[in-house]
Structure 1
């Protein structure tokens, strides 16, 4: 197996120059860089990633922590984060916080031991201040457990307002908001606030419900939705806190003889692929996930390169009209 000394000998330079070239440190003539690169290719030499991490103090890797991998929102966000990471020259590895506590701690230790360049947290289960004490840059997306952590959110309150207004403008007079997890506190809770204020300003009857954490863990809302529709038989408009819930509302409503959008109108939230694939296609509040992912990765890139950055980003949302309204 070729060593850095072999590369140096073939290129006619010192091992120190090869090391500086590999780690992009200091000025090296282009001609010298080309000689070193050619020597590495001829010898099949690959730099030791661990050694480079020790030298640089970090790897060019971002760890991403999400509560679910299969949830359509997080699946889409993961894809957008990977695209942005690649564009900035980072690799990415993924961890799901919905595992047992021991495995979760193991994953966190792995990312810190691997000297990642930064950690993007998309789960309220992870307290980012516990990560920051190790000196690793942390960015939160749609969770704000630590006020001192850079965070990326969409305008959740405006999303709730847009949804309520669209349902009211469509003639609905008895609205229901299917919100988030019981006893959880995340930025998405502001969707209910915007919904409520708009309904009250228009003097429209409205109700709000949340669901147990076990329902969220399973991602199967069918039985819960059936209970809600039975409890509120007179509702004529639903604002669901995710497109996944909205898609399951379509299935349960059909089974219960409710016609969407005939006697029941529906709006989801997120603007991910499932809203287009459902039948009927779902009117939704779209989050700009590409822009949010880019902002998160850009902050880590800025911290690594000692550039200024904004610690708070609130992105606008928009109503996407489809067949359920």
Structure 2
């Protein structure tokens, strides 16, 4: 069974709000096709972002049995929205994902999201995510320059932990993105996202976030450089801490090996290195569908080429995800 843990979907109610409000970050119809617009930059929303039938056809083409979807850009956390608007957008997302799950229960599962900019509302939304039966919670790597270990967010993660919900960490456009010209937009998914993931997850480890919270954490884009910098990070932990009792409590290997990672790399040796570092039982199949970076056959080929056994390949392609998400 193949389970794709990294796909994206924009529910109709969410798109309608973005279209209606017409803000700098919005959805706008151009030549009869919805586009995600960020100021002067626009990206066509491929059918898979908005059409469950198109998703089903793509799944059948690539022998994928189940997809787990999260929201993508446009992000409800963007500063263009007020706190109240962010809450409204988040609720539309979660209701839309629940509707999609109900419509295609054997094919679709959704990661809910929470309005970090209103922590009290976010705690309530975690309860709603659990009540809606969503697969887990998708979180950005940071929120408006604040790390996820910010004390204001602690009650949110306490509640996520109480419900036993998996957490999918996915980067968004950030301060690094602002260094590039519009024609360099391709550097966001290829370089900025994995770099930001590496930096922000490392900060969380050293902040002691994962000492305070026991969570099943799935990291997008094969964890950026985390599996490959683990030795260097551990050396830093050993050499640069003035107080041996300060965070983190454990070796960096302890944390890196506890996370789950999607296998989106497009480089078989990197997949092999990740398996050797974190184990084939902590790698999951993902594609980033329906973004144009998606290449399911290449990802499957990389897994088949580097998994040590057929059983390990089957675990990466779906069996581990079934256990993590209780599918």
TM-score normalised by structure 1 residue count: 0.29
From the two aligned structures, give the one with the greater helix fraction: 2
TM-score normalised by structure 2 residue count: 0.29
Larger radius of gyration: 1
